[in-house]
Amino acid sequence: MAKKSDKKITFKKEKEMPPYAISFYSMEFNKTVSWRNFRPIIDYDKCTSCMICWKYCPEAAIDLKKKKAKGKEKLTPVINYEYCKGCGICWEECPVDAIDIEEEAG
């Protein structure tokens, strides 16, 4: 199936609908950003790249990216805000309190 950007699909007729509930596009196009009420923010000055937040994230919304920190390039957790639902698990689990959480505006 062709990958198109996700938009709300409205069926006018029952016959147009598939027999069971499926998404037509992969999660690549099904952003869950609107679900979030709280935004976790990583303080990279405190982050030790232990990757505990990455392991605990139930939505796999934390990616590991190569980043330069203190002159050295290393794998660093980066929150993907297009998918993060703001559950706060990373904020709870971070062993060095490098993750803060803020209420989303609006």
Partner 1 sequence: MKQVLMGNHALSYGAKVSRAQVISAYPITPQTEVVELLSKMCASGELKAKFIKVESEHSAMAALIGASATGVRTFTATSSQGLAHMHEMLHWAAGARTPIVMGNVNRAFAPPWSVWTEQNDSLSQRDTGWMQLYAQNNQEVLDSVIQAYKVAETFDLPAMVILAAFVLSHTSETVEIPKQEKVDEFLPPYEREYKLDTDQPHAFGGLADPDNYFELRYKIQKAMEKAAVKWEEVGEEFEEIFGRKYGLVETYKVSDAKNLIVSSATIASTARNAVDALRSKGIKVGLLRIRVFRPFPAKQIRAILNSVDKAIVIDRNIGFGASGIFYQEVKAAMYNEKNTPPIFGVVTGLGGRDVSSKDIIEIYQSVIREEEPKSDIIWKGLKE
Residue 2 sits in the site that holds partner 1 (CB under 8 A): no
Sign of the alpha-carbon torsion through 46, 50, 56, 61 = positive
CB atoms under 10 Å from CB of 103, counted, come to 9
For partner 1, the closer of residues 17 and 41 by Cβ is: 17
Site residues for partner 1, window 17-56 (CB under 8 A)?
17-24, 26-27, 30
Residue 5 sits in the site that holds partner 1 (CB under 8 A): no
Contact 84, 38 (CB under 8 A): no
Answer for which of 4, 14, 71, 103 binds partner 1 (CB under 8 A) is 14
